[in-house]
Chain A
Amino acid sequence: MPLIDGCIHPYPEGDSSIRRMALTARELGFDQVVAAGGNDEVPGVLKGTIIAATSVKEVVSTLQGIPQGDGVVMVTSGDLAFNRAVIGLRRVRVLKGIQRSPKGAFNHVAAREAEAKGVAVELDLSPLVGERGIQRQRVISRYRDLLQLHRRYHFPVTLASNARSILGQRSVRDMVFLARLFDMEEGEVMGALSSLDSILSGRSPVQVVRG
């Protein structure tokens, strides 16, 4: 299964070109990266589209402007009602920025729906690297809660560096160590790094084979 960095932000949003970030990702042990606002002409790069909207109506109208099958559609998370509605939308693949949402914004009901619809929740590692003190502690605690829900309801999760520069990209090994901060085990990290491949190919992580 290919290992995928869930989201990067290349130039002009960041300071590194998409090709350079793809080269760096390969050096750091990734097979592919999802580039927000990028294109999939560069080898090892999947096109990503981030929808940051305040209402579900706005998300739906933005989705209508995106061609069918055009990369990974990610929506920035909001409150619980917003998240549940977004999870129900057919083309949404990833719920982003869950650590910035209110605490009850993703509960067991949303977890069940995410599992049923195959929508992944992104665990953004950039606050673990870039923040210090109470902000980082809050994110770690939030991810620990999400991980408990993930273990119970088996909805997909992805791990993303959300790097805006090659200096923000981290290796697979670094991600394993950073994920240990919120008690995620190595097998779970590898599963999270390869979950986008299953989601995009429409495969369920567990396949039932009848004899």
Chain B
Amino acid sequence: MSSIKIELRKEDVDFIKETCSKFNNDSQELINVLHGCQEHFGYLPAEVQEVISEYLNVPVAKIYGVVTFYSFFTMIPKGKHPISICMGTACYVRGAEKVLEEFKKELGIKVGESTKDNKFSLSSLRCVGACGLAPVVLVGDKTYGRVAPDDVKGILKEYE
């Protein structure tokens, strides 16, 4: 499933167990459980999915199917400052692709990857609904509007 192997601590397992029981261990609440776990762990490694499988009584293959189906869920840990570039149509026609290229060049990583020191990760997303500010870049919770390729270095500097 994934190349990253992690060892879950007891409190991690307890957290998953609690999250499942908060939703009455109901398999139909799988997506809500996954949301809860991703918020806590930052991503959904195979080991977490295995524990969920046990408490919700859903085969782990099915959970993997759901995790990989939805773009919101990820099995790769995000960086300390996750960078998302909006590639919705409005941002695209206002030059988001060039901004994305600049981030790739500056960070030396591709979309879906993290920098070696795990400080930044790069992803593209579809429309955050702030089309008036296109092109839009999100770093963590902070939104940057009307970003030009020349602004990229300055944005990254804020997080040094």
Do A and B share a complex?
Answer: no
Binding site for A on B (CB under 8 A): none
